[in-house]
Structure 1
Amino acid sequence: MSYSSRLFPRRSCALSSTALAVGLLMFSAAQAQQTSGSLNALAGKGDKVTIVSKAIGITREQVADKDGAVSFSQLPAGDYVVTIKRADGSTVTRNVSVQPGQSANVNVQQLEQVVVTGLATKTIDVKSAESVQILSKSEIDRIPVARNTTAIAMLAPGATLGDGRIGSTSSRAGNVPSLGGASPAENAYYINGFNVTNIVNGVAFNSVPFEGVGSQQVKTGGYGAEFGRSLGGVISVTTKRGTDEWHGGANVTWEPDSLRGSAVFSKKDDPTSTNPNDWYLAKGPGYNETLRTNLWAGGPLIADTLYAFALVQAGGQKIRSYGTSQQSETKNDTPQYLLKLDWNINKNNTLEFTSFSDKSTDKIQNWKQVTANGTAKGDSLGTDEYTTGGDTNILKWTGWLTDDLTLSALYGVGKYKRTSVVESAGCPYVQDRRTAPTKILGCATTIPISDPNANDKRTAYRVDAEYSINAQHTLRAGLDSEVYDTVDGSVYPGPERKLYQIRRLGAGSRLSNGYVNGATPIDYVQVREYFNGGTFKTENAAWYVEDNWQVTKNLLVNIGLRNESFTNKNADGIPFVKVKNTYAPRLAAAWDVMGNADLKVYSNVGRYYIPVYANTNVRLSGQQLDKTNFYAYTGTNSNDKFQVPGLGTKLGGEVVNSPGAAPDPRTIVDPNLKPMYQDEFIAGFQKALADRWSVGVKYTHRVLKSSMDDICFGAGAAAWAAKNGYTADQAAAIGDTVDHCFLGNPGRDLTANVDLNGDGKLVAVTIPNSALLFPEKPKRTYDALEFTFERAWDKKWSFQGSYVLAFSKGNTEGYVKSDIGQDDAGISQDWDYPGLMEGANGYLPNDRRHTFKFWGSYAATDEVRVGANVMIQSGRPKNCLGYYAGTLDDVSIAYGSSSFYCGGKLVPRGSVGRLKWFKEVNLQATYTPNWLKGATLSVDLLNVFNTRTVRAINEAGEEALGTPSPSYGQPGASSIQAPRRVRFLAQYEF
């Protein structure tokens, strides 16, 4: 959370009970997806209160009630002049800044001004029990940090960076954050009130060009009934807008390769280690340079009526990478734009239009390596092209129908492309895994190949209403609907859609299909054939209602209820998931202990649901083929460019995970399915100290109450049926239904629609959870104690920081599985078979026990400002995953190196130790010359000491049961801390 100073100076006398009640009452008056603010004034009975923002053409007025209270809600962010005309003809004027998601307060019942002047003088907000951090663009510019949404979100207390394999959709995207112990796929992202979260798996989102950001909020808990579809946090961006004067500017940002830290690659046989199997990072060749240009302008198209802000971005990034077997050159292009129009139709109605594009294209040229990690190019492997992002258009109307009733409506359409053109798609993917690092043979460059036309389209609307009944109650209610159309799918490259892996099989070792090797080690080839895909539709809808109740003069209680419905359809448009009426109650309280906003004690409890992502449609209800066979390796490969390994004697039978036909949607989902949800409890306090200083302490407890995943253990279901009166054929039918993977709630009884008698008639059969033999029910808990402090910016200096002690424990991470880098939201390998969950309970991948964050700025002169940003975080728990060697089932072994058995012994989750602490120091220096007003020259040094902490490793410990993997412990290429970067900014504004 981000707090400082306090709402009222110490020398102010305590507010009257009525004044405080009104000041507290309007907590939610400005909370419509956090794109607007509110203003509360305390004057005298019958006084006329007028607020004017000339910059954005807003004028509103009210007459104070018997208690002297006036409230203005749903105000666009900006600077306002508040004029109070008294009964005796005198006037009082105050200046107030309104920020998104905040309430500004003016009290002219006192002799002095008491006002929240925006983010420059933050206060203890006695009207809110949310866990939220809000940063304006001006604040962000004073922090040396990477220029993207995730980097800003990481400033929030307790936020951790997810696994590098989760969310890395392009060379620039980076991974996404884990908030409040949830998986990285469980956050919601908004731009100007419109949900831009990617519906496929939750680990991507649309974004505006960074220079178009006006402010960014990060909610990490305690948010009200207005928000849903998130178990982690809510990240909300409000864009810049035009004002009454024309302003514009241009800037160039440049990160030169010549000042960048060296590229690294992982090697074994660390010369400084006593363990010859240790991995270390060696310096190698590389190139990475970024150059981007932004142009923007904003102002009135029609004075006091129509305003515009427009921005265009050009440029991109160039990367050269040198691997073990292949090298590549990536050229990224980001021709992006933002347009914001604001129309003041009249004093009671406004219309906003937002249009932006975040399209990004990577063109990747590939070559064979002559020598591992060398610069010499071998044969060309062609050019691959990937495009992400797309166009989003949002329209929002706000009407102040009466002094007590406000109504808003939003409609938007967002598109997100995931298209690809892979020149080497005709080449089978061949790996040699007998040594580490793994070698890539042949001409393939990537796996799997995604559908060249993959894309998502969101069409959504929402309506919100607010009604002030009296000084004690303000009611809010709303509803929304989102419809997603998804085209998705993937296939292994090559004419036969197969992946070939040459592996080593030790003496007496066992393959996943049950084949046991003899006394002599052999080489073998694992051949996997795979494809899936289709066109799918997902529908989410919700309504909410809440009451902000001023119980006493110092105590505000927010009571809310949210109801959500989720519908997922298969490729034929037939619903296979249809969940209605998921009630999520919310209760929050904020107590202004002394009545002067000096000390706040707060608490909240709530339930939060998350939708069933479209990834479940694709993987579960679409056509999917997944088969694996094993052959003795002949020791030779084909002489053509494919280099397919020679296949000798077949070793054992075929393993079939999916037969390739789309299933009957009624036979793949428990009709009593409950979406994943969690309960949350938060309690804390905040205290104002000296001028502009504040501190806070907060405790958070989150517990997963229901998990959702696919269950595939048909043998357990069949065995139960055979013992409970079903015939042998009926028991087999029950087993087959579950065996092709069935979406349910692990830990609960499973209801399946089964064709018991082969006559096409489906009969509901309830299989007890005990029959599925899972060692434990789903568990995920998050407990955190958070300490924060802040000294707000006063145009001279600021300082802010936090320490979080957190424990994230359980047997399931949630919608992703970072252990193996799997982002199959809703259908990870967890809960497929009981053996995979044996030993799964422990500290989860996002468990970072200790997190320290500090940042601040100092204006050395009126032209020179310096800043720093420091993050220190303890390491992630390590695992050794291997082939299942337990007795709960005989199928988990088919998953390869995926269970918590390693080397034939149970190695419980997180019991192998932890990775090293992450440490990063960033510095900034900014020069704004007086001799050239509007100019800014800035340099940021990111990761000054060039530390290269490994955030994740390869945890697969075996190549077969009893055969160790030579790649175990290898640092993940996408999870190595970014090197030192130097970023230059040259900017001019008029």
Structure 2
Amino acid sequence: MNRALRRSALTAALGLCFATNVHAQSNTAGAVFGQASAGDTVVVENPATGFKREIRVGNDGSYRASALPTGSYRVTLQRADGSTATRENVTVNVGTGTSVNFAAAAAPGATTLDAVQVTAAAMVNPIDVSSVESTTILTAEQIAKIPVPRDVTSVALLAPGTVKGDAAFGNLASFGGASVAENAYFVNGFNITNSFKGLNFATIPFEAIGEQQIKTGGYGAEFGRALGGVVNLITKRGTNEFHAGGNIFYTASSLRATERDIYSPDGQLISDNSRDRDPTETIVSAWASGALVKDTLFGYALVQYGRESGERSFGNNLSVANDSTTSKNPNWLVKLDWNINDANLLEFTAFSDKEESERDVYANPQGVSEREDFLGTVHDETGGDNYVLKYTGYLTDTFTLSALYGMGEYKRNNYAVNADGQRLAYDGRVSPDNATGIIGAAGCPVVTDGRPDAVAGLIPAYTSSCAFLTGSSDTARNLGLADARDKREQFRIDAEWQLGAHLLRFGYDTDTFKSRDGEASEGGVAWRYVTRRGEDMVRRRVFQTGADVEVDSEAFYIEDNWSITDNFIAYVGLRWDSFENKNGAGETYVKQDDQFGPRLGFSWDVNGDSSLKIFGNAGRYALPIAANVAVRGSSPSLYSQEYLYYDGVDPVTGAPVNPTATGDARDELSYLNNEFGTAKDPRTIASKNLDPQYQDEYILGFQKQLTDNFSGGVRGIYRELKRGIDDHCDYRVFEDWADENGYAIDSYNPAFTYCHIYNPGSDLDVQIDIDADGTLENVFIPADRLGPKARRTYTAVELFAEGQLTDRFFLQGSYTWSKNKGNAEGGVKSDIGQDDTGVTQDFDYPELMVGADGYLPNDRRHTLKLFGNYEFSDQWSVGANFLYQSGRPINCFGVYGDDPTGYGASYFSCDAGPVDPDTGSNGTTIVRRGSAGRTPDIWNLDLNVAYRPSFAEGRLALKMDVFNVFNRQKALAVDEFGEDSTGNPLFGITYLTPTVYQAPRAVRFMVQYDW
């Protein structure tokens, strides 16, 4: 009985208990807090680095050690009478608070606790009763035990409420129904989100990641510029103990299963993959860490080299090339930590994520897999160097200050060299005279054949035997700039102040993001053969853009975590965001000040021992306009087209011979969206009443301790896009305004921009030189004449669980039921793979939004995720990662009526009836968004086995991962065009043809040695 009493006293004194002090979230550090007797001293020390803080317990019996670098700590209570109590191995994770409560130590009968030391379970993330956020944290140790691809997105997809985005945008995740372009990414507090389109981010060598924090909702006022989720990376760092090591990850092409061939619904071969050589990937890393000066200066350094190579054949009816691709990424990272003294820390992070790829392209006959003549090599260079300096000062026991400055560069260079050794590169200049383009070498024109019989394989398709940048794509791939790049400069300062029951945090950050970008079609012109009004014609398009643009963002925030009682905290956060967008001439075309984002939340430790937490929050989140909008929307751009007759086809280039005008006014040269290739007046680009886009979010849930080391919970989530931003391009409303106000409209002038940035559902208030007299007119168009309001909602219920079922069995998982509905996905348009972030074709014309309400592309009704690891012994372990997910909605795009906008097959209108030769239309049957079925449900199982031989004393590790063990290859996306651009039906031809399958089975090997 005496032993039982002592164990009870220990639990009361040193167990995970919630104190009156609370923890606010930080993007780089964690905290230890709790209760003890007033006047006592608590020492928080990291034995591995010598870092130490001494905190005097306040008059209310609470203490708090904030802004602690992540790691394992010793927490010691030093009483006024000289006795002590210690807790060892207290884990501090990023953005979380760990409670260590000594209050009961002074209780009668508890004095025997003085010499007791308690060790925490290493693989358990305890319930953080001090947080109102929805957060998943995975450490490097946990990630290493799971069969998961070694990239940030794949790890983020383990969290509840995340789904994989469309393949057209690369490897990105959608959080809570938001588009893949609405997330934010950080490394050691530095924003690495690429704000050009929001579709990529700087990366660090995966081996250097110490922790990955995934915020899926409810994040505090410290975080902004995201409507989806936040991914926060903390790098590894050095300690007093020297460590070094290296590993090799090898994925063999020979052990990859063959990707299945793609057939159209009527059995036509679309892609023959029988001769593909899937990529062989090798990644080698080496690292070292230790103390440069014991207890004071520490370093961690890693170098990584990766190489991937493979071949793809495009022997089918739609393409004429195959390629061989090799990519290389010599990356590195350095992390330095200087404990100047116990009150001042300085840390420096530098890393490089450069990658170079070469794609050799060869001609390929129609319908077979056979490599022919070499056409040329496409070169892509991405990534760059990043440098971050951060200071943390513990100025008093209750006041902490941190400051960060960082800068980074990300290249997006693209050029090509043809078979003759000629360099093909666009220099970014825009030619206003509708010339073929300013390109280093003439190259070949982009040629595609969109005639229904050619698409169906009933007649030979017109193609080019020399153009190669387009690869297998039916839509022209444009040649980018040889010196495209992005540069970021960021500064932020954050402070934390404990005032009794109130923990105040406040700060300011500014972010300057500059981009250089441009694109043009290879050869300067794109030809597309079409059947138009029953006749064969060829469409000639010229497209050129190029500019240096800028986005400046700044924000202020303040938040209060208020301990209303010992067990209940309330959170109040306020954030003000301001955004300024500049065009290629450095002129401001959009400025949005003081977007207010309130955040409210609560956390109730029901039992007072961190065993049951009820929490909730409500918040408003804003997003700036992406930098890419200014390149075409507010800077010089050229976009022209005309339809022509032709006498024949050049057998080498595929270009039409003797193209001549048809004589029909509907086919004459036109400048789409009034893009003449000349400068745009920044005053005419955006509506004067433009407000930032924002989203409201509400979360309510609970989390309960099920066993000593395992917990589970439920949360309900509702998100609603309250205001969106897009562009509107309907010139007809301006013609009507001119008629109503007595102006003689002259739309063929650069000051009459067709497309304007506005809030869909709001009035359009713009300035336009409507009559080309050199004076801007104030033009006001009521909202009811422009189209609907942007709508997007996300409703979900998440069940989640995590922890150690036994000492050797780690398990984590979730089930999510969700609905994602509306008329706009967000920044991008997954339906058609459009990556023009912020200016998709949605809302360009009202007709494009007819039938647009429905289930959005990221709607996955059911998702089940389970992953974990079981250790059979000290030498052998197995890991598993299982995913089940229901299919995504399918649309049917076609031509609406007589195509009033000229957008072709871009409407939610699909009819298999005959085409009227006079109107070119086959009806106006509306097929509402997401109502044409769903892709198949998918499931996937990954497994691994690891061996750590005893003779190597744990230093050597061998591992094999098998991805997609059962080689499931269901369609992830399908062709959603039920008609071609002239209204001809594609049912039974290409409509519903799979475009992306699950990745085939692959095997990865690892050898690692540490010393």
Paired with 1:758 and 1:531, the residues of 2 have a C-alpha distance of: 24
**Worse overlay, 595-604 or 127-136:** 595-604
State the secondary structure of the residue aligned to 1:331: strand
> Could you tell me how far 1:132 is from its partner in structure 2?
0.8
Counterpart pick for 2:141 among 133, 138, 142: 138
1:19-30 matches, cutoff 5 A: 20-22=18-20, 25-28=21-24
- Per-residue CA deviations over 1:639-695 (Å, capped at 9, x if unaligned) read 434555663553622342122222100011112211211111111111111222212
> Could you tell me how far 1:13 is from its partner in structure 2?
7.4
Paired with 1:827 and 1:581, the residues of 2 have a C-alpha distance of: 23
In the alignment, which residue of structure 2 is the partner of 1:924?
Answer: 944
Q: 1:683 to 1:749 in 2, by over 3 A?
A: same
Q: Is the contact made by 2:18 and 2:129 (CA closer than 8 Å) also made in structure 1?
A: no
Counterpart pick for 1:912 among 929, 932, 936: 932
Q: 1:397 to 1:265 in 2, by over 3 A?
A: same
**Worse overlay, 876-885 or 862-871:** 876-885
In the alignment, which residue of structure 1 is the partner of 2:355?
Answer: 360
2:796 is the alignment partner of 1:746: no
Q: Is the contact made by 1:713 and 1:738 (CA closer than 8 Å) also made in structure 2?
A: no
In the alignment, which residue of structure 2 is the partner of 1:194?
Answer: 190
- Per-residue CA deviations over 1:926-954 (Å, capped at 9, x if unaligned) read 00111012000000000111111221122
1:657-676 matches, cutoff 5 A: 657=672, 658-676=675-693
- Per-residue CA deviations over 1:590-636 (Å, capped at 9, x if unaligned) read 111222222111111110001111011112011111112222353x3
- Per-residue CA deviations over 1:527-551 (Å, capped at 9, x if unaligned) read 2110111111210110100111112
Paired with 1:212 and 1:665, the residues of 2 have a C-alpha distance of: 44
Q: What letter corresponds to residue 314 of structure 1 in structure 2?
A: Y
TM-score by length of 2: 0.89
Structure 2 gaps, min length 5: 1-6, 105-109, 419-423, 425-442, 470-476, 912-922
In the alignment, which residue of structure 2 is the partner of 1:859?
Answer: 871
Q: What letter corresponds to residue 259 of structure 2 in structure 1?
A: A
Counterpart pick for 1:481 among 510, 518, 538: 510
In the alignment, which residue of structure 2 is the partner of 1:250?
Answer: 246
2:109 is the alignment partner of 1:81: no
Structure 1 gaps, min length 5: 1-8, 169-174, 270-274, 506-510
Q: What letter corresponds to residue 991 of structure 2 in structure 1?
A: G
Paired with 1:946 and 1:19, the residues of 2 have a C-alpha distance of: 47
State the secondary structure of the residue aligned to 1:688: strand
Q: 1:879 to 1:405 in 2, by over 3 A?
A: same
Q: Is the contact made by 1:885 and 1:961 (CA closer than 8 Å) also made in structure 2?
A: no
> Could you tell me how far 1:916 is from its partner in structure 2?
0.4
Q: Is the contact made by 1:718 and 1:732 (CA closer than 8 Å) also made in structure 2?
A: no
Paired with 2:588 and 2:244, the residues of 1 have a C-alpha distance of: 50
2:600 is the alignment partner of 1:605: no
State the secondary structure of the residue aligned to 1:876: coil
- Per-residue CA deviations over 1:206-251 (Å, capped at 9, x if unaligned) read 0101101101011111000000000000011111111111101010
Counterpart pick for 1:308 among 299, 322, 347: 299
State the secondary structure of the residue aligned to 1:120: coil
Q: What letter corresponds to residue 863 of structure 1 in structure 2?
A: Q
**Worse overlay, 700-709 or 365-374:** 365-374
In the alignment, which residue of structure 2 is the partner of 1:614?
Answer: 627
> Could you tell me how far 1:141 is from its partner in structure 2?
0.6
State the secondary structure of the residue aligned to 1:855: strand
Counterpart pick for 1:94 among 70, 87, 91: 87
**Worse overlay, 76-85 or 865-874:** 76-85
1:630-645 matches, cutoff 5 A: 630-634=643-647, 636-641=648-653, 643-644=655-656
Paired with 1:305 and 1:158, the residues of 2 have a C-alpha distance of: 42
State the secondary structure of the residue aligned to 1:211: helix
Paired with 2:456 and 2:567, the residues of 1 have a C-alpha distance of: 65
Paired with 1:469 and 1:118, the residues of 2 have a C-alpha distance of: 33
> Could you tell me how far 1:77 is from its partner in structure 2?
1.1
In the alignment, which residue of structure 1 is the partner of 2:474?
Answer: none
Counterpart pick for 1:501 among 509, 512, 528: 528
Q: 1:642 to 1:596 in 2, by over 3 A?
A: same
Paired with 1:422 and 1:145, the residues of 2 have a C-alpha distance of: 34
In the alignment, which residue of structure 2 is the partner of 1:5?
Answer: none
Counterpart pick for 1:569 among 582, 596, 612: 582
TM-score by length of 1: 0.91
State the secondary structure of the residue aligned to 2:976: coil
Counterpart pick for 1:448 among 442, 466, 478: 478
1:657-736 matches, cutoff 5 A: 657=672, 658-720=675-737, 722-723=739-740, 726-729=741-744
Q: What letter corresponds to residue 237 of structure 2 in structure 1?
A: R
2:904 is the alignment partner of 1:896: yes
Number of residues of Structure 1 aligned to a counterpart in Structure 2:
936
> Could you tell me how far 1:765 is from its partner in structure 2?
3.0
Q: Is the contact made by 1:675 and 1:706 (CA closer than 8 Å) also made in structure 2?
A: yes
State the secondary structure of the residue aligned to 1:870: strand
Q: What letter corresponds to residue 985 of structure 2 in structure 1?
A: P
Paired with 1:287 and 1:15, the residues of 2 have a C-alpha distance of: 58
1:90-489 matches, cutoff 5 A: 90-95=83-88, 96-110=90-104, 111=110, 117=120, 120-166=123-169, 168=170, 175-268=171-264, 283-324=274-315, 325-370=320-365, 372=367, 374=369, 376-424=370-418, 425=424, 426-433=443-450, 434-436=454-456, 440-446=463-469, 447-470=477-500, 472-489=501-518
Q: What letter corresponds to residue 344 of structure 1 in structure 2?
A: N
- Per-residue CA deviations over 1:180-199 (Å, capped at 9, x if unaligned) read 00001000011111111111
Q: 1:873 to 1:626 in 2, by over 3 A?
A: same
Q: What letter corresponds to residue 62 of structure 1 in structure 2?
A: I
In the alignment, which residue of structure 1 is the partner of 2:802?
Answer: 790
Counterpart pick for 1:36 among 29, 38, 43: 29
Paired with 1:158 and 1:121, the residues of 2 have a C-alpha distance of: 21
Paired with 1:734 and 1:20, the residues of 2 have a C-alpha distance of: 69
State the secondary structure of the residue aligned to 2:154: helix
Q: What letter corresponds to residue 407 of structure 1 in structure 2?
A: L
Q: Is the contact made by 2:576 and 2:594 (CA closer than 8 Å) also made in structure 1?
A: yes
- Per-residue CA deviations over 1:555-606 (Å, capped at 9, x if unaligned) read 1111010000100111111100111010000001111122222211111111
2:628 is the alignment partner of 1:625: no
Q: 1:782 to 1:124 in 2, by over 3 A?
A: same
Paired with 1:150 and 1:788, the residues of 2 have a C-alpha distance of: 20
Q: 1:104 to 1:744 in 2, by over 3 A?
A: same
Q: Is the contact made by 2:98 and 2:128 (CA closer than 8 Å) also made in structure 1?
A: no
Paired with 1:734 and 1:559, the residues of 2 have a C-alpha distance of: 53
In the alignment, which residue of structure 2 is the partner of 1:69?
Answer: 62
State the secondary structure of the residue aligned to 2:142: helix
> Could you tell me how far 1:788 is from its partner in structure 2?
1.1
Q: 1:554 to 1:49 in 2, by over 3 A?
A: closer
Paired with 1:850 and 1:249, the residues of 2 have a C-alpha distance of: 42
RMSD of the alignment, in Å?
2.4
- Per-residue CA deviations over 1:753-806 (Å, capped at 9, x if unaligned) read 13367554434332211222x2x3211000001111223375400122111110
> Could you tell me how far 1:398 is from its partner in structure 2?
0.3
State the secondary structure of the residue aligned to 1:619: helix
Q: What letter corresponds to residue 690 of structure 1 in structure 2?
A: T
Paired with 1:414 and 1:103, the residues of 2 have a C-alpha distance of: 31
State the secondary structure of the residue aligned to 2:141: helix
